[in-house]
Structure formats: C-alpha cells, structure tokens
Chain A
C-alpha cells in the first residue's frame, strides 16, 4: 500500500466520523418524523396481514365503482340527443302531410263526389262476367 493510499484511507475514516456525527445530531423534528414514518410502514404491514384474502369480493370493495359506473351511464342516457318518436306539434308540416296533399288521385276521389259510380262498379265486379258485360252503366240505368 502506497503513502497515497494511506492518505486516502485516513481521509475516508475522518469523513466517516464526520458523517456519523451528523447522523447522531439530527434534530428532534426529523427524528420524530422518521419515527412516525416507520410506525406507519409497520402498521401498513399489519394491515396487509390482517386483510382477509376475499376482500376483493366484498361489496364494500366494488360497490363504489359500480355506483360510479351506473351514475355515468345515467348521465349519458339523460344527455343523449332527443330522438324518440313523438306526434308532431300543431302547425308543423311533416313529409307524410306533403305526400297526402300532392296525391292527385286521392284528391279527385275525395273532391269529385263520384261515389255512386264507384259503388256501382264494385257491385258489377261481384256479379257474373256476362251480366257485367250486358248491362248498362249507372248513367243509363238511373236516367
């Protein structure tokens, strides 16, 4: 071992002595906090030991998560866009109304007042084909 190594070894011893002095001279506040931390850690070990293995299956464990999920679903349902089928409000014209109003055949049937003719046509269709062919229409028959 060289003199330089001896020197470093001596220096190392002195450093260690100084550091140990400081470790011994830590303030009361720090010591108290460290003691508390140690007790908390050991108490944590005790709590883990005392925890029953089936804890995860207990409602107390998963109930809060379930309630939160249900609340989130309810919020989504309540805030979703309004799409349910409702009767149109008075004064609102729907596509169905437009289609009825523009249907010419339907209008002619309603406005022509030709219901008598159609009743006769139905009666003829129910009779025999020969009779239907030989008889006159309602204009001739009724004068």
Chain B
C-alpha cells in the first residue's frame, strides 16, 4: 500500500470538499465588492489556486480564514486596478463592454422554491444588495464574512488583516446602517 500517495489523495479530496463548501459564498462576497460577476469569478479562482499552492499543507481548520484573507487581498488588488483602468478609459472616446448580452439559459437559477416566495426573496435581495453596495468596503466585507460565511470574530479579523475590535466595530456599524436603510427586511 502506498501510504504517501493515499495521504495525498485524501488531501486532494479534503481540499476539494473545502473549496466546494466556500465557493458560492466566496463568489457572493466577491461579487458584492466588485459588482461584476466575471471579476468575482476570477477573484475566487485566484484565491483557490493560491490557497492550494501555498497553504494546502496547513491544517484544514486554518484554510477558511486563509482563503478569505487571500480573497480579500485579491478583491483589493482588482479594485485598485479597476480604478486605474477607469481613469484611463475615461479619456478614451468609446466605452468597451465586451460582456454582451447574458445567455438566459445559462443565467437560469435552479428551481428549488415556489415562484412567489422566490420573487419576494429576490426583491429583498435586490434591496439588500443596494444597501450593501452603499456601505464602506470594509464594513461590507466584515458583514458578509460574518453573516454569510459565518466566520467568527477572530477568523474575520484574520481574513481582513485587522484587529478583532475593528471587526466588531465594522460589523455593528454595517448592521445599523443596513437596518436604517432596509427597515423590516422580509
């Protein structure tokens, strides 16, 4: 029996399961920050590759904060690059939007809920996304890491590269701002 090979296969399987468990939420968090689906996908993919390349040997319980730390850095890099690109593009006499029209079949969501309830949730979600987009970026990210991903304060602090006190402050301010904007979210 090839024990090292078996261990490696176990590691690959564990990595695959971990990535599958975070990918959707990571995508949501990246999309909220970047407001662009393809950029968010790129950020998540880069974070996955970086985690596997640099931290796969770490204990699996450390992967989640490390993964979100990488994702956070990637999002910040992309936002900086985008702001530079926008400054340059604003001088050009055309606007390039290569995304084109979305494919309605590819964009179709999985039908797991009654249409009326889905519509209600979609409306709430649209309002929530608008409110989230209006938050300062760090408040937004702390809020999503805590609420959507379920990281605790220490993990969120590690992922964001800040103190636990900052995480608590950002989270409370974000919650209060969203509550003020959205009222009773249904």
Which A residues are within 8 Å of any B CB, using their own CB? Answer: 7-8, 11-12, 14-16, 18-31, 33-35, 37-42, 44-46, 48-49
Contact = CB atoms under 8 A, between A and B. Distances in A.
Nearest to A29: B106
Interface string B22-56: 01110110000000010001001100110111001
B24 A44 contact: no
A18 B19 contact: no
Contacts, number: 121
Given A31-B24, A46-B8, 18 more contacts: A8-B179, A11-B178, A11-B179, A11-B185, A14-B124, A15-B147, A21-B113, A25-B109, A25-B118, A28-B108, A34-B23, A38-B19, A38-B48, A39-B16, A42-B15, A44-B52, A45-B53, A45-B56
A20 B150 CA distance: 11
A31 B186 CA distance: 26
Interface string B5-20: 0001001100110011
Interface residues of B, number: 47
Contacts of A26: 24, 27-28, 109
Interface string B69-108: 0000000000000000000000000000000000101111
A18 B110 contact: no
Interface of B: 8, 11-12, 15-16, 19-20, 23-25, 27-28, 37, 41, 44-45, 48-49, 51-53, 56, 103, 105-110, 112-113, 118, 121, 124-125, 128, 144, 147-148, 175-176, 178-179, 182, 184-186
